[in-house]
């Protein structure tokens, strides 16, 4: 009987001493005037291509400035496109580079034609509003208030954080409408680890690109955010796709962000 009491007492002590899981409340933290840029690079490769030829390749760099804080829960950003690079006819196609700073006489004929179409974007300033939980309250708009359409899918750049604190390994879900096609994107996030002032967050899910389609394109990837202010540092996302005349393939999206000094 004495040994049983001793065992129960020991068990209670052990259970009471178990280390409590650390909780993380993920919220964005910006100050007015903060400036950062984002490079959004997307390319696709067919699965059965032994040469791994890049079939579509585009990159856009944008600069963002925190214009104002909306109460204590959201931020209004202004943004500008710094450059656009694209190539869509395989590895032998011309890589076109468009920028407000590129001299017109140095452009190829293809770049000049494309520049005419994209000139309104390159010369414009846009706004976007995001709350501290990472939800986009207002998508890209011209300063006039007119919708700007899809510049980059900023929801790929910004994780929608969970409502409450969360520990390493625990999951949270998000479901949103895909711009343009009005299909569905479902994501499941989880914190992989916290190390060296960085938080690594894994994601997996699927795209149901068209509302009436039963085809689901799976995706997975990894986000790295700052552990102090929860701002994006980098991300890599891999999505199953179907390429015209090439069959199944994979689209890779690489996102990089850094703080900059506005000169």
Q: How confident is the model at residue 16, as a pLDDT? A: 47
Q: How confident is the model at residue 90, as a pLDDT? A: 53
Per the domain annotation, does 163 fall within a domain?
A: yes
Per the domain annotation, does 208 fall within a domain?
A: yes
Per the domain annotation, does 33 fall within a domain?
A: yes
Per the domain annotation, does 1 fall within a domain?
A: no
pLDDT per position as a tens digit, 67-109: 999 988 999 999 999 999 987 555 556 778 888 776 666 777 7
Find which of 19-33, 125-139, 147-161, 235-249 is predicted with most confidence, using mean pLDDT: 125-139
Which residue segment(s) compose the domain that 138 sits in?
A: 22-259
- pLDDT of residue 33 exceeding 90, the answer is yes
Residues with Cβ < 8 Å from 31, sequence gap 6 or more? 66
Question: Averaged over 102-131, what is the pLDDT?
Answer: 82
Q: Give the Å distances, CA to CA, from 246 to 159, 235, 243, 253.
A: 32, 27, 5, 19
pLDDT per position as a tens digit, 199-239: 999 999 999 988 888 889 999 999 999 999 999 999 999 99
| Number of domains the chain is built from | 1
Per the domain annotation, does 7 fall within a domain?
A: no
Question: Averaged over 139-168, what is the pLDDT?
Answer: 91
- pLDDT of residue 131 exceeding 60, the answer is yes
Of 10-14, 29-33, 119-123, 227-231, the one with minimum mean pLDDT is 10-14
Per the domain annotation, does 11 fall within a domain?
A: no
Look up the pTM and report it.
0.86
Residues with Cβ < 8 Å from 232, sequence gap 6 or more? 38, 157, 158, 159, 223, 224, 225, 255, 257
Q: How many CA atoms lie within 13 A of 170 on its CB side?
A: 13
**pLDDT confidence of 46, banded at 50, 70, 90?**
confident
Higher pLDDT, 187 or 10: 187
**pLDDT confidence of 11, banded at 50, 70, 90?**
very low
Residues with Cβ < 8 Å from 228, sequence gap 6 or more? 29, 197
Of 60-64, 252-256, 259-263, the one with minimum mean pLDDT is 259-263
Per the domain annotation, does 9 fall within a domain?
A: no
- pLDDT of residue 150 exceeding 70, the answer is yes
Question: Averaged over 114-118, what is the pLDDT?
Answer: 77
**CATH number, domain with residue 158:** 2.30.230
Residues with Cβ < 8 Å from 225, sequence gap 6 or more? 26, 159, 198, 199, 201, 231, 232, 233
Of the candidates 64, 70, 78, 75, the one whose C-alpha atom is nearest the C-alpha of residue 30 is 75
Cα angle: 97, vertex 231, 239; to 5 degrees: 60
Per the domain annotation, does 162 fall within a domain?
A: yes
Separation CA 188–CA 2 (nearest Å)? 50
- pLDDT of residue 241 exceeding 60, the answer is yes
Question: Averaged over 8-32, what is the pLDDT?
Answer: 72
* Average pLDDT taken over every residue of the chain: 86
């Amino acid at each position: 009987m004495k040994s049983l009491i001793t065992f129960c007492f020991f068990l209670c002590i052990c259970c009471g001493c178990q280390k409590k899981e650390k909780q993380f409340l993920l919220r964005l933290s910006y100050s007015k005037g903060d400036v950062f840029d984002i490079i959004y690079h997307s390319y696709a490769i067919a699965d059965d291509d032994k040469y791994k030829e890049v079939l579509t390749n585009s990159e856009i760099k944008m600069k963002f400035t925190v214009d104002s804080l909306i109460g204590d829960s959201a931020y209004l950003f202004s943004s500008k496109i710094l450059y656009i690079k694209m190539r869509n006819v395989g590895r032998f196609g011309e890589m076109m580079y468009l920028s407000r700073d590129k001299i017109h006489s140095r452009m190829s004929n293809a770049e000049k034609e494309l520049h005419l179409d994209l000139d309104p974007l390159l010369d414009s300033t846009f706004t976007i509003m995001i709350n501290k939980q990472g939800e986009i309250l207002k998508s890209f708009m011209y300063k006039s208030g007119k919708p700007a359409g899809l510049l980059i899918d900023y929801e790929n750049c910004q994780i929608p954080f969970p409502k409450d604190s969360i520990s390493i390994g625990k999951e949270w879900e998000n479901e949103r409408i895909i711009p343009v096609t009005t299909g569905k994107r479902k994501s499941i996030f989880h914190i992989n680890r916290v190390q060296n002032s960085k938080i690594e967050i894994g994601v997996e899910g699927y795209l149901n690109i068209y509302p009436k389609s039963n085809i689901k394109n799976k995706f997975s990837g990894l986000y790295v955010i700052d552990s102090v202010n929860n701002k994006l540092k980098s991300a890599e996302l891999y999505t199953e796709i179907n390429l015209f005349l090439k069959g199944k393939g994979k689209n890779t999206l690489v996102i990089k962000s850094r703080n900059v000094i506005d000169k």
